[in-house]
Amino acid sequence: MDDQTAIRHLKDGDIGGLDVLVKRYQVQAVRTAYLILQDQAAAEDVMQSAFIRVYDRVHQFNDQYPFRPWFMRIVVNMALKASGSDQTVLTLDITATDFLPDTTPNPELQLEEAQQEAVIRDALAALSTEQRAVIVMRYYLDYKESEIAQAVQAPLGTVRWRMHTAKKRLRGLLTAFQPGYAGRMRDE
């Protein structure tokens, strides 16, 4: 069953339509919220709340448009809201060694990969929630700036400003964590 059919079922009161959407998007929703919130339990709560919102608001959804962008917009906004209500900055307590491979055919490449990943983790954790949200939307969900603007209900200029400051901060953090990486990051 495709998304549009599932939504039509849900609009007709058949909760089986929601089941299809949950199975299809629950993982990506949790991963998106997790990247923003840096907390798995909170991300799972956000995902569940987002599907409840879909259930409540499905009659507002125009099924001529794709479901995924609408749904992920709900997820991102709920993640932002969740971070605001907690008023805490959550960080991941993970170091580079957690991701070092045990045995590898190309140890040098995999070591560099793991180190880069660890640097990204630390740098992400040091960003504000709002800055993480634009980075996640741009680079994980592949949103265009205009789509981010629509998602967070902010003018395009504001999104550009937020993206600019997020990338500027990320660049600074990457430099601090591992000199040499950040200079190659493009500022669109």
Partner 1 sequence: MNDEQLKHHLTTIAEKDIPDDMDYLKAIHDTIGKRSATTRRQWLPLRLIIAAVIGLLLGGIGVYAIFQTLTDPGLEAVIEQGLVQEINQEQTINGVTVKVSRAYMDTNRVAIWYSISGGEDLLPENGSMYPLSTTMLRQTGSEDLFTMGGMFTQAGLDPDSDSLVVFDHDVQRPESGIYSLDFVVEIGGSMQTMLIIPPDQTPTPGPVPDEFIHSIPYVGEFIFSLELKASEPIILEPDMTITQNDIDITLQEVLIAPSQTEIVLCFELPDGRDWQPNTRIMIDGREGLPSGYGLIQLPSPEMVERCTKISFMVAYLAEDETMTITVDRLQTSIPDVYTPELFATASERLAEQGIVVTFELGEHGMRYEVIESPEGLGESEVGMAVFDALREHYAGLWEFTISLP
Point out which residues bind partner 1 (CB under 8 A). Answer: 15, 18-19, 22-23, 26-27, 30-32, 34-35, 40, 43-44, 47-48, 51-52, 55-57, 59-60, 80-81, 83-84, 87, 89, 99, 116-117, 120-121, 124, 128-130, 135-136, 139-140, 142, 152-158, 161-162, 165, 174, 181-182, 184-186, 188
3-state helix, strand, coil in the chain (%, to 5): 75, 0, 25
Whole-number Cα distances in Å, 4 to 11, 32, 172: 10, 22, 43
Q: Considering beta carbons, is residue 105 or 142 the nearer one to partner 1?
A: 142
Q: Nearer Cβ to partner 1, position 19 or 147?
A: 19
CB of 32 to partner 1, least distance (A): 8
When the beta carbons of 23 and 144 are compared against partner 1, the nearer one is 23
- CA 160/CA 96 separation, integer angstroms: 31
List, in sequence order, every beta strand (DSSP E) within the chain: none
Q: What is the DSSP string of 98-124?
A: GG--SS-SSHHHHHHHHHHHHHHHHHH
**Contact (Cβ atoms closer than 8 angstroms) between residue 44 and residue 52:** no
Using CA atoms of 127, 42, 24, 60 in order, give the dihedral in degrees to the nearest 10.
Answer: -90
Give the pair of three-digit tokens for residue 62.
């125009």
Q: Which is nearer to partner 1, 80 or 105 (CB)?
A: 80
Min dist. Cβ of residue 131 to partner 1 (A) = 9
Minimum separation from the CB atom of position 140 to partner 1 (A) = 4
Q: Nearer to partner 1 by C-beta: 109 or 185? A: 185
Closest separation between CB of residue 30 and partner 1, Å? Answer: 5
Shortest distance (Å) from residue 99 CB to partner 1: 8
